[in-house]
Structure 1
Amino acid sequence: MRLFIILGNQLFNPNYLKNFKDHLFYMAEDYGLCTYEKHHKLKILLFLSSMRSFRDELKSKNFKIIYEDINSKFKTSYEKKLEKIIKDKKIKEVSFFEIEDKPFEKKIVSVLKKMNIKVNQIKTPMFLTTRKEFTEYLSRYKKPFMANFYKSIRAKLNILMNSDGKPKGNKWSFDEDNRKKLPKNIKIPEIPKIKTTSHTNQIKKFIEQNFKDHPGNTKNFWFPTTRLEAQKHLDRFFNERIKLFGDYEDAVSDKSNTMFHSALSPLINLGLITPEEILIKLKKIENKVPINSFEGYVRQIIGWREFMRGIYQNFDIQMDKSNFFNHKRKMKKSWYNGSTGLDPLDFSIKNAERFGWSHHIERLMILSNIMNLCEIHPKQVYKWFMEMFVDSSDWVMSPNVYGMGLFSDGGIFATKPYICGSSYFLKMMHFKKGPWCDVMDGLYWKFIDKNKKFFLKNPRLAMMVRVSEKMNKERKVRIFKAANNFIKANTNG
């Protein structure tokens, strides 16, 4: 007999499985998945509820499936449960989609190798490009850059391209048009209401009882858990929000957590929607959406997402071991409950705790920026992001945290750390001037001063050292004191 393993983040359209209908399918709710970090309660709820709905869908299409839920030796390791199924059912061959997170991939492959099982790994629909394509891309360049990777993939997929091979609008990126602050009187669409399944309601109580010390609250659940609801979520984004997505892509506001973003990353990272399905629908509205919004969203889907996966697959060990700035501090509890006293940081921490999702600017320019300026150890930052966001996985968080957020990898693909002081917040966000500005500016300029040798080596950044050297001494003393007090109150080490 042949077995097909479906993991909790491989809930793809059953059409991808039509050639394997003679297989026995195996799914298991895994305690290890829920607890290898203190994952957000909304993440655990999303995973388990979506898995059960997917099981129901497979059954309705007459797939043969073994499903082990939380009542079936939940705390037994996934590997041991898999071994037992293989022995009991006398399995000779096992198929599965490519597993992106390397530690778990290693565990599964090790079990199958030990049992002398024939293994069939299938290209995952979770991405548009193959692993081989990315290694071939790496062989053509001295250093990976998202921009040239994005151009090659866009040309290959023929998205926003003219017949002469040039990009529509004569630009590959309209990022410069996507930096507007949210106007005061703009109407923001509400977060789409979801149709809650019986599975979701049943699992909520279990999570609140068994994962009490995990962040979040299941009462705030707002994610689709079926492919049908996920498609509705996508359609509402295209109908209600994508036209203004580009303009306000980088804005942060207390009016809305999602604003004009799609907030689809948790669903794509589960397989409820695939990039292929998104592109099919995108192409139908290409001429109805402003080019800066259309291109901006395309870049997220076929550019950043595919690129980060490739970076993880090729540089994960290097990123995991690196600590370029030699940061050693640890976070106190205030970083989890939003009581640090720094307004923008507390705002974003509470957002993450409530929603389990924030858009890229909150993650990059508020959270990881401030963690970097406070010299938090990269592993601590990584753990925080893995725990606080519903869309977290090793493959996506590793390059985003170590490479983009912290530059702790020393610049495998980024050219500089993404850091800023209060002026950026005041320009792009809803925050008003206050005592927090001194803290923020103190953290920023302390970081510049401490790492001035690094900044002086980069012509684009050397100016910041010279600005610091010319700064009014009284102001410098004041803001450095504010920064030091903040660090002392909120970190250890």
Structure 2
Amino acid sequence: MIDMDEKSVAIVFPHHLLEDHPAAGKTSGFILVEDQLFFGDPVFGLRFHKNKLVLHRSSMRYYHDHLKSRGLKAEYIEYSPDPHMGYLRDHLEGYDRVYTLELLDHELEARMKKLSMELGLEITEIEAPFIFRRNLMDGYFRDGRFLLRSFYIRERKRLSILMENSRPAGGKWTFDTENRKRMPPGLQVPAPVKLPENEYVQEAKEYVSEKFPDNPGSMDRFNYPTTHTEARIFLKDFIERRITNFGSYQDFISRDETFLFHSVLSSSLNICLLTPMEVIRAVLKADAPLNSIEGFVRQVMGWREFIRAVYILKGPYERTRNFFKHRGKLNPKLYHGETGIDPYDIAVGRVMGHGYTHHIERLMVIGNLMLLLGTDPDEVYRWFMEMFIDAYDWVMVPNVYGMSQYADGGLIATKPYISSSNYILRMSDHRRGDWCRVWDALFWTFLNEKRSLIGNNPRIRVLYRHLTDRKLEEFRGIREEFMGELMGRQEL
């Protein structure tokens, strides 16, 4: 419980838009900040997708009005980049304590700590509304091993979710093998509900056009919740129209459909328009197959909560690892999706249009190709942070350095997530073409070059039986030709 304190203030960053803020009525007011780490930082030089900027601007302007409608004092600080956070200093004069929700950003934590020391402020972080509490972390990961399955099972038991007495509902903990079906041709895919463009979004588009005209991405198809009501509309729409088929086609990749049966709630969760437990409770009540309900619970209560724990406990370690010692740059064709490799170019194209692709396209298409090409994991992190509507440091450090690029050498993944073209053909409706020849050449030459690092991995070792010197020579030629075409331009 926070005691009422006239000399305290609550700072709200763009990912802290909790409907019932725990500092409400207990401090003298709120300061909402368009912080540069979320809009464009001169130190790191990230150029965020225009849709991401529209999301932050519109949702924060809404939240400012939301607080005032509840009789709370609220100031608003617009984007004004300064790595020393000068935009906050004057507003904090006269206060001796600052409250904020869990920052979950190492750079933001460092800057706030420095500012508080300079101004003589005491900062109190209030734990964000995650399901997995910080006080449980040491007990869960005492042995230094980060295993999603163990974490997920333990959480299911602790919270009695999808349990029948002491057994998992349906007789097994995970239905992941039932999340990989091919979507039959002609199956109708209902698009997420189209939200009317509210006044906040209209203003935000003008704001972004004026202040960030050269940032990547298009705002034309912006359709993400920017208010608590809109987020609940999205949640209701998912449960009523898409969750039934979510489980079966969770991992499927479509040439033509961006959202398929996914909830598209990640951005709403990550800025606190929804809380994870609110979403879980709604899904548990859904009239849907168990493989859909369990598959969704696993993503939110399992993977999302697990990733946050990894970030808190191992984030600084992960972001400084480069297991394969990759140094490749993300050249213009890779950045914009102009490689000639259809699945990759289509996936990047939809990112440019929406700021979104689902998790398998992120991991097994975009991240997969970047890894096979030897891209520096810092470059991969930068691209994912810039491009995705739901990207935040706590999300992307474990997902990029740990899962996608295996830069941590296996802290959270049992093997590098790489594949030949066969996997993509099996999990999608992409058509076989010349891109398969190139992809396979990249895959097999990668395996050969990294044999000393991953050749003894039991999940990888069997693949080397299929690699002959004759095939390798052919693959090297294809790879060299492709790399020459890819590196034809050097400027972004």
Name 2:145's counterpart in structure 1: 143
Match among 472, 484, 491 for residue 480 of structure 2: 484
Name 1:5's counterpart in structure 2: 11
Name 1:426's counterpart in structure 2: 425
- Aligned-residue identity in percent: 34
The one-letter code matched in structure 2 to 1:83 is R
Q: Is the 8 A contact 2:242 2:262 kept in 1?
A: yes
Q: Is the 8 A contact 1:455 1:465 kept in 2?
A: no
Deviation at 1:28, TM superposition (A): 2.0
Deviation string 1:59-105 (CA, Å, 9 cap, x unpaired) is 111111111235xxx34557222221121xx1122111111011101
Aligned-partner Cα distance in 2 for 1:192–1:78: 41
Aligned-partner Cα distance in 1 for 2:27–2:315: 36
Helix, strand or coil at the partner of 2:419: coil
Q: Please, which moves more after superposition, 424-433 or 448-457?
A: 448-457
Deviation string 1:424-481 (CA, Å, 9 cap, x unpaired) is 1111111111111110100000011111223331222211111113x7x2x5444332
Name 2:30's counterpart in structure 1: 25
The one-letter code matched in structure 2 to 1:69 is E
Helix, strand or coil at the partner of 2:186: coil
Deviation string 1:257-286 (CA, Å, 9 cap, x unpaired) is 01000111111111111102112212322x
Helix, strand or coil at the partner of 2:163: coil
Q: Is the 8 A contact 2:192 2:237 kept in 1?
A: no
Q: Is the 8 A contact 2:131 2:301 kept in 1?
A: yes
Q: Is the 8 A contact 1:145 1:413 kept in 2?
A: yes
Aligned-partner Cα distance in 1 for 2:485–2:331: 8
The one-letter code matched in structure 2 to 1:354 is G
Name 1:456's counterpart in structure 2: 455
Match among 85, 110, 114 for residue 91 of structure 2: 85
Equivalences for residues 10-409 of structure 1 within 5 A: 10-14=16-20, 16-18=22-24, 20-36=25-41, 37-69=46-78, 74-76=80-82, 79-87=85-93, 90-125=94-129, 127-139=130-142, 141-163=143-165, 165-285=166-286, 288-409=287-408
Deviation string 1:199-242 (CA, Å, 9 cap, x unpaired) is 21122123123222211111221111111001000110011111
Helix, strand or coil at the partner of 1:5: strand
- State the TM-score, normalizing by the size of structure 2: 0.94
Aligned-partner Cα distance in 1 for 2:440–2:375: 17
The one-letter code matched in structure 1 to 2:91 is I
Helix, strand or coil at the partner of 1:222: coil
Structure (1/2) with the larger helix percentage: 1
Aligned-partner Cα distance in 2 for 1:32–1:320: 17
Q: Is the 8 A contact 1:323 1:409 kept in 2?
A: yes
Q: Is the 8 A contact 2:40 2:81 kept in 1?
A: no
Structure 2: 5+ residue stretches without partners = 1-6
Q: Is the 8 A contact 2:445 2:475 kept in 1?
A: no
Helix, strand or coil at the partner of 1:14: coil
Aligned-partner Cα distance in 1 for 2:463–2:185: 32
Deviation at 1:31, TM superposition (A): 4.0
Helix, strand or coil at the partner of 1:33: helix
Deviation string 1:350-408 (CA, Å, 9 cap, x unpaired) is 01111101111000000010000000111111111111111111100000001000101
RMSD of aligned alpha carbons = 1.7
Q: Is the 8 A contact 1:31 1:76 kept in 2?
A: yes
Deviation at 1:486, TM superposition (A): 1.9
Helix, strand or coil at the partner of 1:51: helix
Helix, strand or coil at the partner of 2:14: coil
Aligned-partner Cα distance in 1 for 2:17–2:455: 48
Deviation at 1:155, TM superposition (A): 1.0
Q: Is the 8 A contact 1:30 1:78 kept in 2?
A: no
Helix, strand or coil at the partner of 1:128: coil
Aligned-partner Cα distance in 2 for 1:301–1:207: 31
Helix, strand or coil at the partner of 2:189: coil
Deviation at 1:312, TM superposition (A): 0.9
Deviation at 1:193, TM superposition (A): 0.3
Helix, strand or coil at the partner of 2:319: helix
Q: Is the 8 A contact 2:307 2:395 kept in 1?
A: yes
